[in-house]
A = this chain, B = another copy of it.
Amino acid sequence: MVARVQAVADAGETAPGGVRQAILEMARREIAEHGCSGASVRSIARAAEVDPRLVRHYYGSRENLLWNALSGDRDPLELAARLLRQSASTIGRRAAAAVFAPWEDPATADLQRARMAASLEGTEAVGRLESEFVSQLLGTIAASVSPDRPRLRAALAATHLTGATVCRYLAGGPLAEMDLGELVRSTGAALQRLLTGPLPEQG
């Protein structure tokens, strides 16, 4: 990766899009490994083997760089609308598959890891993106398919999906070795119950 960044950087102004993309990729890796608080313009420039001034030239402030690195290309409301076009009886499984897909794809896994790391920090202005994504996605779905208490159901479904993501992609352990199809079935069944099944009695 570093060699690729260097090659692109050497090409200079002939491939500014390439350098910009490479800086974003390195920013995601730095955030994934050290959190937003540990990802400085200097550390990102060092990882990308470019001058920090080039990073500032393209992205301005550190805050703006981190925001760009963490911004996803998926709109949770649009994804929810797409999932709601099919039967509500299988939405748990389809939502689980849609959330795991970008984690399983090497081209987008670093973005997911960076967003999760920012979310787990819980304090930064650019944080909470991953949890907001999941909450918005499942909040929209729950508002449509849940018989009662959709906000509670969305929060519990987001909880389960967050746990599955953390256990499979961050913490290792049994979920990391599980067949993806089985993970989608198990997680999807749990989501389906949390979104549409009986809730424990209140009180």
Q: A interface vs B, CB < 8 Å?
A: 34-35, 38, 119-120, 122, 128, 130-132, 135, 151-152, 154-156, 158-164, 166-167, 170-175, 178, 182, 185-190, 193-194, 199-203
Contacts and interface: CB of A to CB of B under 8 A. Distances in A.
A170 B162 CA distance: 12
A101 B73 CA distance: 39
Q: By DSSP majority rule, is chain A's interface helix, strand, loop, or mixed?
A: helix
A14 to B, nearest CB: 37
A151 B193 CA distance: 21
Given A131-B172, A131-B173, A189 B178 contact: no
B186 A135 contact: no
23 contacts: A120-B166, A128-B171, A128-B172, A131-B171, A135-B173, A152-B174, A154-B174, A155-B167, A155-B175, A155-B178, A156-B186, A159-B163, A159-B175, A159-B187, A160-B160, A160-B163, A161-B163, A162-B163, A162-B171, A163-B166, A189-B199, A190-B193, A190-B194
